[in-house]
C-alpha cells in the first residue's frame, strides 16, 4: 500500500513538472512580445512650408516596430534629424524609449529649431533627412535603421514687442521712450495700443533701441489699412496721419500685415491746465490751474482769470511733463484775438500766446478740443437795468472800469427817488448770450453785495432793487476772484 502511495506521488510530481515547463515555454514564446516587422519611417509632409499664421500645424514622424527576431526582447527608438548630406554629424537626437511609434514638432518649434540650431535663414528652403534607430534589448540582434528625406521652408517670426512713436504721440520721435503696444493673448501676432493721439504722424518700431535702423512697420503705399515690414529701417518711410486729436485704439496684426485705427468717442483729454508767467499758475508744471470742463459738451473747456504781462500755453492730460501733450498757437506770439490752435506733443515746437503790457486784464478762455478752436476774450462787467446808468440797454452798455483785478463803477444809481432795479452782465449783445451776476435773492437791497452766477436765460433772474430814497451816487466794486461785491454810497 505504501509503495502504491509513493508511486502515485511520483507520477503526480512528474506531471506537475511537465506542466510547469510547458507554461514557462509558452510565456517565453508569447507571440505578443515578438516583433517581426520591417522598420520603416515616414513623414507627414515631405515639402513643408511653415506659416506663423497656422500655429497648430505639425510635422509628424511615424515608424513601424521593426523586429526583435523572436527574442521577446523590448525595442527602444531614437529619432535623429539633420541637414541632408551631413551624415548626422550635427543631428538632434530624440530618445523615444519603448512602445513609441510617433513624434510631432509644432510649426513654431520646428521653425525655431531650424533657424537657431541649423542656421537656416528665415524664408529659405532647406532639405533635411531623419532616421529612426531601433535597438533591441538583446545583444544578438543588430540595431535597425530607417530614414526619410523632406524639405522645410522657414519664416521670419514676428516681433514679440511693438511700440509707437511720432509727432502724433506724446513722446514725439524719441524712440528710447516709445509707447508700448499690448500683445493680444487670444490672437497670435496681434498688438493693441489705446491712448491719446494728437494731430501728426506715427510709425511702429519693434523695440526701444535708439537706432532708427531697426525694424519698423510703416504704411502700405497703396492701402492705409495695411502695413509694410521695413527690415532694418529699409524701404519707404510712409507714416500714418492723425488729422483729429483724440482717444484712439490701434490694432496691428503683424502676421497678416493689417492695421485698424479707431477713434474712440469722447474727448481726448479730461483735464486741461494753463501754464505760463502770464497766468496765475506761473511756470508750474506739477500743480497748474485747471480749466472747467463743460457738462453740456465735454469737448469744451473754459478758464477765467487775470492775465498779466507774459506768455502762456495750455497743458493737456497728465501734469509734470514739459514734453507731454499741449494746446499751442500756430505761431509764437499769435494774437489773442485769433481762434487758431493746434494740439501737439513734445518740446520741439513750443509756441506760446503773449500778453502785452496793453493787453493785461481778466480773460475768459474757451477751448474747443473737438474742433481745435480757441476764444480768448476780455471779461467786462456791465450794469443793466432801469436802476443803473444805461437802462435796459444790453446791446451797447457801458463797461465798468477794470483795475488790478477789481471792476469798479462810480456814479449814480436811480434818479429822482425812482425805485429801479439792476443786474450785472459779463457780456453784451443779446439777453441770453452769456453769464450774469444776479442778486442772491429777489428785490435785494443795493447795499447787500451777495450774488450768484447764472448762465444765459436760465435764471433765477434776481435783481438789486432800489427803494424809495436810495437814489444817489455810489461806488460798486466787484472782485470775481474773491467773489465779493461792495456798494458804498458816495
pLDDT of residue 348: 80
CATH 2.60.40.3620 boundaries in the chain = 272-377, 382-489
Distances from the Cα of 433 to the Cα of 219, 330, 371, 393, 407, angstroms: 47, 28, 21, 14, 20
- For residues 464 and 466, give the distance between their C-alpha atoms in angstroms, rounded to a whole number: 7
- For residues 490 and 475, give the distance between their C-alpha atoms in angstroms, rounded to a whole number: 7
SS3 for 328? strand
pLDDT of residue 23: 40
pLDDT of residue 325: 87
- All cell numbers assigned to 335: 494774437
Q: What is the mean pLDDT of residues 167-183?
A: 90
**Is the pLDDT confidence value at 189 over 60?**
yes
DSSP assignment of 282-312 equals BS-SSSPEEPEEPSS-TTEEEEEEEE-SEEE
pLDDT of residue 56: 83
Per the rule left: phi > 0, alpha: psi between -120 and 50, beta: everything else, 2 is alpha
pLDDT of residue 33: 62
Residue with more model confidence, 268 or 369: 369
- Quote the longest CA-to-CA distance of the chain: 165
Q: What is the mean pLDDT of residues 315-335?
A: 92
The predicted-structure confidence for 55-70, as pLDDT tens digits, reads as follows 889 999 999 999 999 9
- For residues 363 and 274, give the distance between their C-alpha atoms in angstroms, rounded to a whole number: 12
Neighbour tally for 21: CB within 10 Å:
10
**Is the pLDDT confidence value at 12 over 60?**
no
- For residues 315 and 274, give the distance between their C-alpha atoms in angstroms, rounded to a whole number: 6
pLDDT of residue 212: 84
Considering the domain delimited by 33-153, tell me its CATH architecture.
Sandwich (2.60)
pLDDT of residue 345: 81
CATH 2.60.40.10 boundaries in the chain = 33-153
Percent of the chain with pLDDT over 90: 75
Q: What is the mean pLDDT of residues 433-452?
A: 96
**CATH top-level class for 382-489?**
mainly beta
- For residues 211 and 202, give the distance between their C-alpha atoms in angstroms, rounded to a whole number: 16
The predicted-structure confidence for 71-112, as pLDDT tens digits, reads as follows 999 999 999 999 999 999 999 999 999 999 999 999 999 999
Assess whether the previous peptide bond of 460 is cis (omega < 30° from 0). yes
- For residues 441 and 463, give the distance between their C-alpha atoms in angstroms, rounded to a whole number: 7
The predicted-structure confidence for 405-425, as pLDDT tens digits, reads as follows 999 999 999 876 678 999 999
Neighbour tally for 45: CB within 10 Å:
13
Q: What mean pLDDT value characterizes the chain?
A: 90
**Is the pLDDT confidence value at 210 over 60?**
yes
- For residues 485 and 407, give the distance between their C-alpha atoms in angstroms, rounded to a whole number: 9
- Residue 384: pLDDT band by 50, 70, 90 thresholds? very high
**8 Å CB contact between 336 and 365:** no
Distance linking the first and last C-alpha atoms of the chain: 160
- For residues 426 and 473, give the distance between their C-alpha atoms in angstroms, rounded to a whole number: 22
- Residue 356: pLDDT band by 50, 70, 90 thresholds? very high
CA dihedral 439, 442, 448, 454 (to 10 degrees): -10
Q: What is the mean pLDDT of residues 180-197?
A: 87
**Is the pLDDT confidence value at 19 over 50?**
no
206-221 residues labelled b (16+ CB within 10 A) or e (exposed): bebeeeeebbbbbbbe
pLDDT of residue 385: 95
- For residues 367 and 456, give the distance between their C-alpha atoms in angstroms, rounded to a whole number: 19
- Residue 16: pLDDT band by 50, 70, 90 thresholds? very low
Provide the 8-state DSSP code for 461: -
Q: Quick one: which H or E segment has residue 113? A: helix 107-116
Q: What is the mean pLDDT of residues 353-373?
A: 94
The CATH number for 163-264, chosen from 2.60.40, 2.40.50, 1.10.10, 3.40.50, is: 2.60.40
**Is the pLDDT confidence value at 216 over 80?**
yes
Tell me which residue of 280, 422, 283, 438 sits closest to 362, measured CA to CA.
280
**Is the pLDDT confidence value at 21 over 60?**
no
**8 Å CB contact between 58 and 104:** yes
pLDDT of residue 65: 96
**8 Å CB contact between 291 and 273:** yes
Tell me which residue of 131, 166, 167 sits closest to 148, measured CA to CA.
131
- For residues 137 and 119, give the distance between their C-alpha atoms in angstroms, rounded to a whole number: 36
The predicted-structure confidence for 248-271, as pLDDT tens digits, reads as follows 999 999 999 999 999 988 888 889
Percent of the chain with pLDDT over 70: 92
Q: Does domain 272-377 have CATH number 2.60.40.3620?
A: yes
pLDDT of residue 8: 39
pLDDT of residue 388: 93
Amino acid at each position: 500500500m505504501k509503495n502504491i502511495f509513493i508511486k502515485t506521488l511520483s507520477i503526480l510530481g512528474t506531471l506537475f513538472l511537465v506542466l510547469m515547463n510547458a507554461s514557462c515555454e509558452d510565456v517565453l514564446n508569447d507571440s505578443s512580445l515578438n516583433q517581426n516587422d520591417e522598420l520603416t519611417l515616414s513623414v507627414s509632409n515631405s515639402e513643408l512650408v511653415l506659416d506663423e499664421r497656422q500655429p497648430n500645424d505639425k510635422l509628424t514622424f511615424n515608424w513601424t516596430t521593426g523586429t526583435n527576431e523572436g527574442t521577446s526582447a523590448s525595442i527602444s527608438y531614437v529619432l535623429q534629424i539633420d541637414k541632408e548630406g551631413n551624415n548626422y554629424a550635427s543631428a538632434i537626437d530624440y530618445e523615444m524609449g519603448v512602445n513609441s511609434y510617433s513624434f510631432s514638432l509644432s510649426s513654431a518649434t520646428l521653425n525655431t529649431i531650424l533657424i537657431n540650431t541649423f542656421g537656416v535663414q528665415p524664408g529659405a528652403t532647406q532639405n533635411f533627412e531623419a532616421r529612426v534607430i531601433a535597438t533591441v534589448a538583446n545583444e544578438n540582434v543588430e540595431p535597425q535603421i530607417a530614414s526619410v528625406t523632406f524639405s522645410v521652408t522657414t519664416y521670419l517670426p514676428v516681433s514679440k514687442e511693438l511700440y509707437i512713436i511720432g509727432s502724433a504721440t506724446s513722446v514725439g520721435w524719441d524712440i528710447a521712450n516709445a509707447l508700448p503696444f499690448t500683445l493680444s493673448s487670444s490672437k497670435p501676432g496681434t498688438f493693441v495700443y489705446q491712448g491719446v493721439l494728437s494731430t501728426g504722424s506715427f510709425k511702429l518700431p519693434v523695440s526701444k533701441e535708439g537706432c532708427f535702423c531697426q525694424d519698423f512697420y510703416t504704411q502700405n503705399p497703396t492701402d492705409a489699412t495695411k502695413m509694410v515690414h521695413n527690415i532694418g529701417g529699409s524701404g519707404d518711410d510712409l507714416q500714418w496721419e492723425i488729422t483729429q486729436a483724440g482717444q484712439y485704439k490701434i490694432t496691428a496684426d503683424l502676421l497678416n500685415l493689417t492695421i485698424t485705427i479707431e477713434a474712440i468717442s469722447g474727448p481726448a483729454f479730461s483735464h486741461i491746465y494753463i501754464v505760463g508767467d502770464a497766468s496765475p499758475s506761473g511756470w508750474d508744471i506739477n500743480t497748474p490751474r485747471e480749466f472747467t470742463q463743460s457738462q453740456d459738451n465735454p469737448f469744451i473747456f473754459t478758464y477765467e482769470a487775470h492775465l498779466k504781462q507774459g506768455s502762456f500755453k495750455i497743458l493737456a492730460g497728465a501734469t509734470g511733463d514739459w514734453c507731454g501733450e499741449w494746446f499751442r498757437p500756430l505761431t509764437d506770439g499769435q494774437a489773442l484775438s485769433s481762434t487758431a490752435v493746434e494740439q501737439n506733443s513734445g518740446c520741439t515746437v513750443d509756441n506760446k500766446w503773449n500778453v502785452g503790457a496793453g493787453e493785461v486784464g481778466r480773460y475768459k478762455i474757451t477751448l474747443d478740443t473737438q474742433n481745435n478752436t480757441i476764444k480768448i476774450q476780455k471779461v467786462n462787467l456791465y450794469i443793466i437795468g432801469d436802476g443803473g446808468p444805461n437802462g435796459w440797454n444790453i446791446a451797447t452798455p457801458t463797461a465798468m472800469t477794470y483795475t488790478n483785478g477789481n471792476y469798479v463803477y462810480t456814479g449814480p444809481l436811480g434818479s429822482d427817488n425812482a425805485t429801479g432795479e439792476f443786474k450785472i452782465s459779463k457780456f453784451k449783445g443779446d439777453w441770453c448770450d452769456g453769464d450774469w451776476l444776479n442778486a442772491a435773492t429777489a428785490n435785494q437791497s443795493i447795499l447787500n453785495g451777495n450774488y450768484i452766477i447764472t448762465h444765459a436765460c436760465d435764471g433765477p433772474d434776481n435783481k438789486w432793487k432800489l427803494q424809495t430814497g436810495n437814489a444817489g451816487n455810489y461806488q460798486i466794486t466787484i472782485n470775481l476772484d474773491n467773489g465779493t461785491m461792495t456798494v458804498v454810497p458816495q
